[in-house]
C-alpha cells in the first residue's frame, strides 16, 4: 500500500473523470475486472482488457509515468510469474527452445504471456483506484454508499494511519537493539533478533492501538445512536458512466476471447 | 439545545462530578489502583489533580469519562457525572453533538484518528450524531478557539507533537463537553508546545480575551504544576490508598503540601518547595539517595528552576582536588571560558587522556533513506562533559544523537572515535559490531520500551555484558552493582514492561551503563519524568562525568541544560535550520568567577 501511494503529485490530475468518481464506482470496476479475468487464463481476453484499460488511462487522472512509479510492484510480480510459467508450464505444441530440462513450447509461451497480461490487467485498475483515491474518501464511500458497518470501516481507517507509523518504529527498534549489543551473531542470531524485533513491534503497535481506541471511544465512537457524516459521499450520474465503462471493458475482452477460441473456464 | 448561529458564544452547561467511597481495581491485580475517594467538584470549577505516580489519577479520569468497563476491573462506591453513573453518563442521550465529558490523553500520536485536521475534529461530532450542516461551523469554531494555526485540509501527519495535541483538544472541545478532563496533556510534548496548549485551554475556558468560551468544569492531571496555576482555582491531592489527602484553593494547598508533594515527585514550583527546613536540597531530600563515587562533588541536586548560589557550587573544585589527577586537569580546563567554543577542544591544552572521544567533521545525518536533516556538523564529544543538543521538535536532535551513537550511518562527512575509545575495531563507530559498540558507546532512547528485550529486569541487565563477552562472575557483579546504584534491586524479577515510567527510565539507563561505555548518548532522558527521577538522573550524570565519561544529551529540558552549563560541565549546541550552532553560556563559567 505504501509502495503504491509513493510518488510525486504531478502524476495526478484529481479532476479527471475517473479520479473524481465515487471511490465505490472505482472499486466496482476493479472488482469486475478481477472477477472476469479470474475466470480465464488466455492471452486474448487479458490482452484486450489491458489494451482497453490503457486506452482509457488518459481519463483516469494518472499519467503513464505515475502509473509505473506506483505500480512497479505489479510489474515486478507479473513478469517473473510469466517467465516461470513459460519455462515450467505444461508443454504443448512446437518446441521453441530446449535447454536441459527446461523446454519452452508454443503452449507454455502462450500460457506465460497470458499470466503476465492477466496480472497486469487486474493490477492496473487497482493501482488507479489507490493512486486517485484518498483513504478517507474511500472509507466514507464504503460506509455511506456500500453500507458497510461504519465501526469496521473507521477502525480500519484509523489502523491504516497507525501502520504508517510502523516504518519509523521499526527503524527505532533496530537501532535500539544494536544499542543493546544485539544483532551480529551470524545468521541464526540475526534471525532470532529479527523475530524478537517483530514481536516488539507488534507489542508497540497493539499498545498504541489500545490508546487510540480509548481516544476514539472518549470521543463517542461506538456509542449507541445514529452517526452522522460530515463528508457526504454521493453517487452521481458520472459514477454510473465509470461503472458502465468497466462493464464495456470486461464484456469486449470476454467476447474477444470467446471469438478467438482462447477463452476457457480456468476453474474447471 | 444549541444553534449554529451562535458561533461566537460557545456555551455548554457545566457538569459536576461526585465520588463517594469510590475505588477501582484493574482486573488481575491484587492492589486497588485507588480507593476511598470522596470528592465533589461543582459545575464550573477548575481543578488540578495531583498525587504521586501510581496514585490512580488517570484511572479516575478514565472512569469519569465512562471508559472503564466491567471487564477491565472492579469498582466500588459511587462515581457520578451530572448526577448519573459515570458509565451511563457517557452514553445517555443529550443534545446532538454534545457530550457530558471530554478527555484529552497524554500521547499525541495515539489521538489522531483521521488524515485531515478538519475531519479529525469532526470525528467526535459525527459520532454524537450532529447533523452534517452543523458540523463544519462547529469544527471551525473549535479550531479557532484552540488557536490552531492551520486550515481544515492540513494533513495531520505533518503536525508536530504539540500541534497534534492542540488538534486533539479541538476535537474534544468541538463536542462542548460539560466536563473537560486533561490527562497529563503536556507530558509528551516540548516546552513551547506545552505553553501553547495551556494557553489554548485557558482560551477555551474563557480565561483569555477570546470572544466566546466554554464554561466547562475542568480537571487537569499533571506533574508540572506551575504552568496550570493561571488556569485552575482548586487543587486536589490523591493518594492510592488514602483517597483525597488534601483539597482546597490552589495556592493554599501548595503552600501547605508543597514540600511533601515535591518529595513525592510532583513538579511543585520552587517557591512552594521550601519546608521549615529550607530549600529542598540534594537527592536525600527528594528521597532519591544515590550512592556517589568518591570523585563526585557533594554538590546540589537542583531540581527545576532553582539557581544555585555561586558559592555553593564551589565543592566541584574541592572534589576534583580529591579525585583522580588526570581528571583535575580536564575539569579545570573545562571550567575555563574558552571551552564552550566548538572546535577548541579540551584536549588541545590538556593531557592526552582528555582528547575528544568522538569527533564529527562536516557530518550529515538523516533518518532512513530520507534527505539529510542536518549537514556540516562539526563537534567534539569530550570526556567529563555533557554535550547538550537542543532545538525545536523535528530539528534533528535525535537523528544526530543516533548518528553520534554509531547507530545510523552518516549521510556525509565523518564521525571518528579516538583509538583510546575504539581500541582494535577501527575509528568509525557505525562499522563496529553491536557487541563492540556497547562497551564503547551506550545509548538511552527516549522511549525505554524500544530497548527492552528480556523478560525481567535482571535478564535485561545481563544482555549487554553477555553480548560483550564479559566473563560471567564479572558480569554478575556489575549487574548487582548497577541494580543497587539505580535502586532497581527490589524489582530484579519484574517484567520491564510492567515498571512505572520512572523505573523504566532508570532501567534503560542501567542497561547502557552495565557495559561501562566511555561515551553515553541520551535522547530526552528527563522527558515526562517526575521530580524524583529527575534528581536521580542528574546525580548519576554528575557521577559519570566525575569518572570521565563523555555524555551527549538531546533534550528540551532547560533546567537540565542550565544545571550542567552553570557548573561548567556542560556545553550546548543548538540544532536547527539544518545544522548546529554553539550557544554561549548566559553566565560566565563558575571557575572564572571563583578565580576572580
Greatest Cα-to-Cα distance within chain B, rounded to the nearest angstrom: 77
CB of A186 within 8 Å of a chain B CB? The answer is no
pLDDT at B335 > cutoff 50: no
Interface of B with A in 53-112 (CB under 8 A): 62, 65, 67, 90-91, 93, 99, 101-103, 105, 107, 109-112
Q: Report the complex ipTM.
A: 0.80
Q: pLDDT for B244-292, tens place per residue?
A: 988 999 999 999 988 988 888 888 888 888 753 333 333 333 333 333 3
Asked if B569 and B575 touch (Cβ cutoff 8 Å), the reply is no
What does the angle CA A250 – CA A252 – CA A256 come to, to the nearest 5 degrees? 115
Tell me the domains of chain B and their CATH numbers: 17-272 (3.40.50.300), 285-440+517-595 (3.40.50.300), 441-516 (no CATH)
- Which stretches does DSSP call E strand in A85-229? 95-99, 102-105
* A215 and B111 Cβ atoms separated by less than 8 Å: yes
The pLDDT profile of chain A, 268 residues, written as one tens digit per residue, is 333 344 446 778 888 899 999 999 999 999 999 999 999 988 999 999 999 999 999 999 999 998 998 889 999 999 999 999 888 877 788 888 888 777 888 888 988 999 999 999 999 999 999 899 988 999 999 999 999 999 999 998 888 888 777 888 888 898 999 999 887 767 777 788 888 889 889 888 888 888 899 899 889 898 777 889 999 999 999 999 999 999 999 999 999 999 999 888 876 5
**CB of B172 within 8 Å of any CB in chain A?**
yes
pLDDT at B187: 83
CA distance B419 to A33: 65
Region of residue B386 (phi > 0: left; psi between -120 and 50: alpha; otherwise: beta): beta
DSSP state, residue B45? -
Per DSSP, helices labelled H in B128-277 are 132-145, 161-173, 191-204, 250-263
Angular region, A10: left φ>0, alpha ψ -120 to 50, beta rest: alpha
Based on its alpha-carbon atoms, the radius of gyration of chain B, rounded to whole angstroms, reads: 26
Distance from the Cα of B17 to chain A's closest Cα (Å) equals 17
Alpha carbon distance B442, B431 (integer Å): 15
Residue B407: alpha-carbon gap to chain centroid: 23
With beta carbons under 8 A apart, name residues in chain B contacting A180: 434, 438, 451, 453, 463-464, 467, 511
Task: Please indicate whether residue B496 or residue B297 has the higher confidence score (pLDDT).
Answer: B496
> Which residue in chain A has the smallest CA separation from B522?
A179
Question: How many beta carbons lie within 10 A of that of residue B252, not counting itself?
Answer: 13
Residues on chain A touching B511 (C-beta within 8 angstroms): 180
The grid cell for B33 is: 489502583
Whether A168 and chain B come into contact, CB under 8 Å, resolves to yes
Count other C-beta atoms under 10 Å from residue A100's C-beta: 5
Residues B203/B146, Cβ–Cβ less than 8 Å: yes
Mutate to test the interface with A, among B115, B179, B401, B402 (most CBs of A within 10 A): B115
What pairing do the DSSP bridges indicate for beta strands B101-104 and B84-85? unpaired
pLDDT in tens, B415-426: 999 998 988 899
pLDDT band at B212 (very low <50, low <70, confident <90, very high): low
Q: Are A135 and B511 within 8 A, CB to CB?
A: no
3-state helix vs strand vs coil in chain A, percent to 5: 70, 5, 25
List residues bridging with B234 in a β-sheet: B47, B249
B427: Cβ contacts below 8 Å, ≥ 6 apart: B416, B417, B418, B419
Which three-class secondary structure state does DSSP give residue A27? helix
User: CA-CA distances (angstroms) from residue B67 to A221, B165, B261?
Assistant: 11, 20, 28
CB contact under 8 A, B405 and A179: yes
Looking up cell 557495559, which residue turns up?
B515
CB–CB of A267/A41 below 8 Å? no
A157: cell is 481507517
What cell was used for B476? 554478575
Contact (CB, 8 A) for B457 and B450:
no
Judged by CB atoms closer than 8 Å, whether chains meet at A216 and B114 is answered as no
Report the distance separating Cα A57 and Cα A128, nearest Å.
9
Residue B406: C-alpha distances to residues A191, A236, B378, B521 (Å): 22, 57, 16, 10
Amino acid at each position: 500500500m505504501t509502495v503504491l501511494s509513493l510518488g510525486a503529485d504531478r502524476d495526478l490530475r484529481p479532476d479527471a473523470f475517473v479520479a473524481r468518481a465515487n471511490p465505490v464506482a472505482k472499486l466496482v470496476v476493479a472488482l469486475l475486472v478481477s472477477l472476469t479475468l479470474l475466470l480465464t487464463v488466455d492471452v486474448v481476453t487479458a490482452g484486450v482488457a489491458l489494451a482497453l484499460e490503457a486506452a482509457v488511462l488518459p481519463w483516469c487522472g494518472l499519467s503513464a509515468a505515475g502509473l509505473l512509479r506506483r505500480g512497479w510492484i505489479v510489474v515486478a510480480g507479473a513478469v517473473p510469474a510469466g517467465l516461470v510459467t513459460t519455462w515450467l508450464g505444461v508443454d504443448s505444441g512446437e518446441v521453441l527452445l530446449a535447454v536441459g530440462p527446461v523446454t519452452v513450447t508454443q503452449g507454455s509461451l502462450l500460457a506465460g504471456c497470458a499470466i503476465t497480461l492477466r496480472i497486469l490487467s487486474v493490477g492496473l485498475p487497482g493501482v488507479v483506484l489507490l493512486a486517485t483515491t484518498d483513504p478517507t474518501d474511500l472509507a466514507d464511500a464504503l460506509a455511506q454508499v456500500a453500507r458497510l458497518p461504519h465501526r469496521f470501516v473507521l477502525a480500519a481507517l484509523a489502523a491504516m494511519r497507525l501502520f504508517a507509523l510502523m516504518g519509523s518504529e521499526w527503524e527505532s527498534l533496530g537501532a535500539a537493539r544494536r544499542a543493546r549489543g544485539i544483532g551480529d551473531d551470524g545468521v541464526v542470531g540475526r534471525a532470532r533478533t529479527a523475530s524478537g524485533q517483530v514481536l516488539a513491534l507488534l507489542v508497540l503497535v497493539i499498545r498504541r492501538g489500545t490508546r487510540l481506541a480509548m481516544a476514539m471511544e472518549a470521543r463517542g465512537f461506538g456509542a449507541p445512536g445514529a452517526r452522522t457524516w460530515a463528508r457526504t459521499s454521493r453517487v452521481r450520474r458520472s459514477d454510473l458512466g465509470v461503472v458502465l465503462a468497466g462493464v464495456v471493458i470486461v464484456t469486449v475482452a470476454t467476447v474477444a476471447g470467446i471469438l478467438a477460441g482462447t477463452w476457457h473456464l480456468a476453474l474447471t | 439545545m444549541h444553534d449554529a448561529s451562535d458561533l461566537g458564544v460557545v456555551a455548554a452547561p457545566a457538569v459536576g462530578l461526585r465520588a463517594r467511597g469510590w475505588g477501582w481495581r484493574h482486573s488481575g491485580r491484587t492492589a486497588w489502583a485507588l480507593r476511598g475517594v470522596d470528592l465533589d467538584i461543582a459545575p464550573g470549577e477548575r481543578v488540578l489533580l495531583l498525587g504521586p505516580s501510581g496514585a490512580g489519577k488517570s484511572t479516575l479520569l478514565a472512569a469519569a469519562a465512562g471508559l472503564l468497563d466491567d471487564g477491565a476491573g472492579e469498582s466500588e462506591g459511587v462515581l457520578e457525572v451530572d448526577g448519573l453513573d459515570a458509565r451511563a453518563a457517557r452514553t445517555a442521550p443529550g443534545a446532538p453533538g454534545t457530550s457530558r465529558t471530554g478527555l484529552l490523553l497524554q500521547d499525541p500520536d495515539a489521538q489522531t484518528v483521521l488524515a485531515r485536521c478538519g475531519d479529525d475534529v469532526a470525528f467526535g461530532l459525527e459520532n454524537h450524531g450532529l447533523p452534517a450542516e452543523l458540523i463544519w461551523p462547529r469544527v471551525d469554531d473549535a479550531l479557532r478557539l484552540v488557536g490552531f494555526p492551520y486550515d481544515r485540509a492540513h494533513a495531520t501527519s505533518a503536525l508536530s507533537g504539540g500541534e497534534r495535541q492542540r488538534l486533539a483538544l479541538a476535537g474534544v472541545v468541538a463536542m462542548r463537553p460539560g466536563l473537560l478532563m486533561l490527562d497529563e496533556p503536556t507530558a509528551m510534548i516540548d516546552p513551547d508546545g506545552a505553553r501553547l496548549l495551556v494557553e489554548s485551554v485557558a482560551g477555551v475556558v474563557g480565561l483569555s480575551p477570546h470572544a466566546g468560551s466554554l464554561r466547562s468544569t475542568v480537571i487537569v492531571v499533571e506533574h508540572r504544576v506551575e504552568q496550570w496555576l493561571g488556569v485552575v482555582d482548586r487543587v486536589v491531592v490523591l493518594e492510592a490508598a488514602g483517597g483525597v489527602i488534601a483539597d482546597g484553593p490552589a495556592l493554599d494547598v501548595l503552600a501547605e503540601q508543597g514540600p511533601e508533594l515535591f518529595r513525592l515527585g510532583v513538579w511543585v514550583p520552587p517557591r512552594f518547595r521550601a519546608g521549615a527546613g529550607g530549600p529542598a536540597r540534594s537527592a536525600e531530600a527528594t528521597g532519591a539517595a544515590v550512592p556517589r563515587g568518591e570523585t563526585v562533588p557533594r554538590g546540589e541536586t537542583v531540581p527545576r528552576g532553582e539557581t544555585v548560589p555561586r558559592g555553593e557550587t564551589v565543592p566541584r573544585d574541592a572534589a576534583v582536588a580529591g579525585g583522580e589527577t588526570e581528571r583535575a586537569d580536564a575539569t579545570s580546563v573545562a571550567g575555563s571560558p574558552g571551552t564552550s567554543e566548538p572546535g577548541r577542544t579540551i584536549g588541545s591544552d590538556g593531557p592526552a587522556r582528555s582528547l575528544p572521544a568522538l569527533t564529527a567533521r562536516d557530518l550529515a545525518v538523516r533518518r532512513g533513506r530520507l534527505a539529510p536533516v542536518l549537514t556540516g556538523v562539526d563537534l567534539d564529544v569530550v570526556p567529563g562533559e555533557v554535550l547538550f543538543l537542543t532545538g525545536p521538535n523535528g530539528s534533528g536532535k535525535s537523528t544526530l544523537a543516533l548518528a553520534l551513537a554509531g547507530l545510523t550511518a552518516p549521510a556525509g562527512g565523518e564521525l571518528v572515535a579516538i583509538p583510546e575509545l575504539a581500541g582494535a575495531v577501527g575509528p568509525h563507530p557505525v562499522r563496529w559490531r553491536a557487541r563492540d559498540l556497547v562497551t564503547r558507546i551506550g545509548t538511552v532512547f527516549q522511549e525505554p520500551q524500544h530497548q527492552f528485550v528480556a523478560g525481567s529486569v535482571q535478564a535485561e541487565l545481563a544482555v549487554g555484558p553477555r553480548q560483550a563477552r564479559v566473563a560471567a562472575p564479572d558480569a554478575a557483579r556489575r549487574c548487582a552493582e548497577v541494580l543497587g546504584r539505580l535502586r532497581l534491586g527490589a524489582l530484579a524479577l519484574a517484567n520491564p514492561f510492567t515498571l512505572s515510567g520512572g523505573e523504566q527510565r532508570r532501567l534503560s539507563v542501567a542497561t547502557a551503563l552495565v557495559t561501562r561505555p566511555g561515551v553515553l548518548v541520551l535522547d530526552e532522558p528527563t522527558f515526562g519524568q517526575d521530580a524524583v527521577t529527575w534528581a536521580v538522573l542528574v546525580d548519576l550524570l554528575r557521577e559519570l562525568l566525575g569518572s570521565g565519561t563523555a555524555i551527549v544529551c538531546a533534550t528540551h529540558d532547560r533546567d537540565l541544560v542550565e544545571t550542567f552549563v552553570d557548573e561548567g560541565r556542560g556545553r550546548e549546541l543548538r540544532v536547527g535550520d539544518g545544522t548546529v550552532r554553539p550557544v554561549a553560556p548566559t553566565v560566565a563559567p563558575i571557575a572564572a568567577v571563583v578565580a576572580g
